[in-house]
Structure 1
Amino acid sequence: MAAQQPAPGRSGFEPELGGLLRDGVERSGHEPELGGALRQKGVYVDEVTCIGCGHCAYVARNTFYLEAEYGRSRVVDQNGDATELIQEAIDCCPVDCIHWVDYTELPALEEQRRYQEIPDIGLPPTARKVRSRRPSVRRPRPKD
């Protein structure tokens, strides 16, 4: 591998800002380690526990919404509202189903959520039908 030639008018020994990280992931300047305002933790809603009251969506409407299929709360934008407003939404949840989690845990939690079985809300536990998010495979009817 050939060494890069310094730009005209440079010796090649000048310190570079960013050094090895310059060619890495694009940075926005909002990262916490750079003094920005992005949080170290993300918000996660346990949809099985959620009762769909909507308090969180009313308080922090840029972060939470009620999804239509199951009527449960879900995070739409991790940085939609200020940390204090999101914490207020967490505090007003009657069943404590909203949690701060480390950002590294979010992808695994979201993957688990995709295949959770969600019970119908509004019915007593004995009458609930559990619906799965797994795609159902329908077999064709036999022709008579």
Structure 2
Amino acid sequence: MPDPCVAFDVDPTPRDTPSGLDPVLGGALRERAVWVDESVCIGCRYCAHVAFNTFLVEETYGRSRVIRQDGDSTERIQEAIDTCPVDCIHWVPFEDLSDLRDQLDAMEIQPLGFPSPSRHKRVLPRGG
């Protein structure tokens, strides 16, 4: 059983900027973060099938997105990266995630596989 007095030996002042060396992954240190370039993603869902605790296909745009950095093992995430047919999943430094998200938010991304709101749904006649 760990000694509870050890908690008082930790420096209580938070750091101003997080780094890739912080134990933000549930205690597992990983120097890189996984990132999906949604502007390139084709919505094939391969990554979400391989590493389903890390990737999710976003409802509105039909593109893959990282939902948890610590969702799957590094090996499983790498397997998901290797299955991507358009190479839109990358390992990046943690410090770059905020800038990458800002760049993605500035882009106009169209939904995949969904009908345009201006198109009408075709209605088949009822059989008699």
Q: Deviations over 1:13-69 (max 9, x none)?
A: xxx945xxx12229xxx839xxx5221100110111100000000000000000011
- TM alignment of 1:1-144, pairs within 5 A: 17-18=9-10, 22-25=11-14, 31=23, 37-121=28-112
Q: Measure the CA separation in 2 of the matches of 1:94 and 1:45.
A: 13
**Unaligned ranges ≥5, structure 2:** 1-7, 16-21, 117-128
Q: Measure the CA separation in 2 of the matches of 1:93 and 1:24.
A: 41
> Which of 1 and 2 has greater Rg?
1
Q: Measure the CA separation in 1 of the matches of 2:29 and 2:105.
A: 26
TM-score (norm 2): 0.69
TM-score (norm 1): 0.62
Over the residues paired in the alignment, what is the CA RMSD in angstroms? 2.5
- The one-letter code of the counterpart of 2:93 is D
Q: Measure the CA separation in 2 of the matches of 1:94 and 1:56.
A: 10
| Greater relative contact order (CA < 8 Å, ≥ 6 in sequence) | 2
Q: Secondary structure in 1 aligned to 2:62? A: coil
Closer/same/farther in 2, CA of residues 23 and 120 from structure 1, 3 Å limit:
closer
Give the length in aligned residue pairs: 100
Runs of 4+ off more than 3 Å: 119-122
